[in-house]
Amino acid sequence: MVTATAIAPAPALRIPVSASLSPQWRASSPSAGIPAASSRRRTAALVSTSGRNSPLQKVLSADAAAGVTGGRNNRRNAPRVTANARPRSVVAAAAEAAGLPASLPEALLFDCDGVLVDTERDGHRVSFNQAFEEKGLGVTWDVPLYGELLKIGGGKERMTHYFDGVGWPAAAPTDATERAAFVAGLHKSKTALFMELVETGALPLRPGVARLIDEALAAGVQVAVCSTSNEKAVGAIVRVMLGEERAQHMRIFAGDVVPKKKPDPAIYNLAASTLNLNPARCVVIEDSHIGLTAAKAAGMTCVVTKSGYTADEDFSAADAVFDAIGDSPADGFDLACVASLLKSHN
């Protein structure tokens, strides 16, 4: 029987100590330099998404008329599709109409787990354990251990690292190629279990996620999700938790679409090249040190929203750190804040 009592921790990722946050972006209310009342008015105008005349609905209707879409077929063929890259003039015009700064980012790139939904402890961890139980492996990942394992990007990589550290189950083959297939099978089972959990709607969105996405879409800013998790699982989270209407206008880059996982920047580099983006004009929303490292290595601005597992990690290289995006700008930040942050760091 394999136990979960010991594991060699992953090497710590170090960030130069000279990196620091601008003081105005450490505060719980980040709208320094942006009048709170006007920020709230802009947000209220943008996120009133019900009805035909809402800002989001107008943008989505205009996209449909122009043939601009980020729907399921585009996401499936992500490396080859660039047609939904919106001209900068369109973004600027939408921003001006909404009363936002013209120098908006070209794209907001969201991590999934811990950013859109706090899935790790009560979602992925539970699904891993259920997959282990179904295979009779005698393995259980408790909450603290799983927090350590999150230093490894990617579920298959995480399991391999764990078994290499504590010993492989008796049911696992000894040949390296066969072990890789064994891990892939476990991960497939885990993903199916996780998707069942997602489909129930048991994992709610983190505060402010839908609001910020609506603001971005209404202003013509591209929105994508860049994750090391399985593409089907990420797609289910986006579709179920954010709704089909938003999902149709978001791109997904996930799973094995790149050979290396975070902290390697490959997933963000792929998003930039596929969507014809200038990395210096992209803002990434991450929740972990390895995600932050990937975003900065891709040359992008990175805002961290801390999650339960990552609150004590080193975020000294981040451009801003918040507890959450927030249901209102007063609780976190909005698109105007992101634009000002981008301008101040480029």
Q: Which of 113, 264, 287, 334 is catalytic?
A: 113
Question: For residue 99, is it within any domain?
Answer: yes
Give the model's pLDDT for residue 201: 84
113: left (phi over 0), alpha (psi -120 to 50) or beta: beta
Percentage of the chain with pLDDT > 90? 60
Domain encompassing residue 247:
23-118+205-344
Residues 340, 323: Cα–Cα separation, whole Å:
19
Among 63, 111, 287, 334, which one carries the catalytic annotation?
111
Q: Identify the band that residue 99 occupies on the pLDDT scale cut at 50, 70 and 90.
A: low
| pLDDT given for residue 331 in this prediction | 84
- The pLDDT value recorded for residue 106 is 97
Q: Are residues 150 and 262 in the same domain?
A: no
Same domain, 109 and 48: yes
pLDDT at 182 over 60: yes
Let me know whether 261 and 130 are in one domain. Answer: no
In this prediction, residue 340 carries a pLDDT of: 87
Classify residue 251: in a domain, yes or no: yes
CATH code of residue 174? 1.10.150.240
pLDDT at residue 52, as a whole number: 43
Same domain, 252 and 230: yes
Which pair of structure tokens corresponds to residue 147?
A: 């927090």
Please tell me whether residues 247 and 303 are part of one structural domain. Answer: yes
pLDDT: is 176 or 344 the higher one?
Answer: 176
Q: Which of 46-50, 155-159, 164-168 comes out lowest in average pLDDT?
A: 46-50
Orientation of helix 335-344 relative to helix 209-218, angle to 10°: 70
Out of 15-19, 80-84, 199-203, 275-279, which region has the weakest mean confidence (pLDDT)? Answer: 15-19
133 and 272 belong to one structural domain = no
60 pLDDT exceeds 50? no
Higher pLDDT pick, 276 / 88: 276
Domain boundary among 182, 199, 216: 199
Amino acid 234: pLDDT? 95
222 within 8 A of 277, measured Cβ to Cβ: yes
> Does residue 293 lie in a domain region?
yes
Mean pLDDT for 115-122 is 92
**Which residue from 51, 48, 69 is spatially nearest to 60, judged by alpha carbons?**
69
Predicted confidence (pLDDT) at residue 67 exceeds the cutoff of 70: no
**In percent, how much of the chain has pLDDT > 70?**
69
The confidence score (pLDDT) of residue 19 equals: 29
pLDDT of residue 98: 53
Q: Which residues contact 182 (CB under 8 A, 6 or more apart)?
A: 172, 173
Asked if residue 8 belongs to a domain, the reply is no
pLDDT reading at 21 higher than 90: no
- Here the CATH number for the domain that contains residue 40 is 3.40.50.1000
What is the overall mean pLDDT for the chain?
78
Are 244 and 210 in a shared domain?
Answer: yes
Residue type at 236 in one-letter notation: A
What tokens does 171 get? Answer: 């049911």
What is residue 77's predicted lDDT score, i.e. its pLDDT? Answer: 37
The answer to whether the beta carbons of residues 302 and 319 sit under 8 Å apart is yes
Annotated active-site residue 164? The verdict is no
Does residue 113 sit in the same domain as residue 211?
A: yes
Please report which helix (H) or strand (E) contains residue 188, including its range.
helix 176-199
What's the domain count of the chain? 2
Question: Among 71-85, 114-128, 189-203, 321-335, whose mean pLDDT is lowest?
Answer: 71-85
pTM of the predicted model as reported, rounded to 2 decimal places: 0.68
Span 206-264, pLDDT tens digits: 999 999 999 999 999 999 999 988 898 899 999 999 999 999 999 999 988 999 999 99
Q: Tell me the average pLDDT across 82-109.
A: 61
Are 86 and 62 part of one and the same domain?
yes
pLDDT at 342: 82
Does 111 participate in catalysis according to the annotation? yes
1 within a domain of the structure (yes/no): no
Residues 6+ apart with CB under 8 A from 167: 2
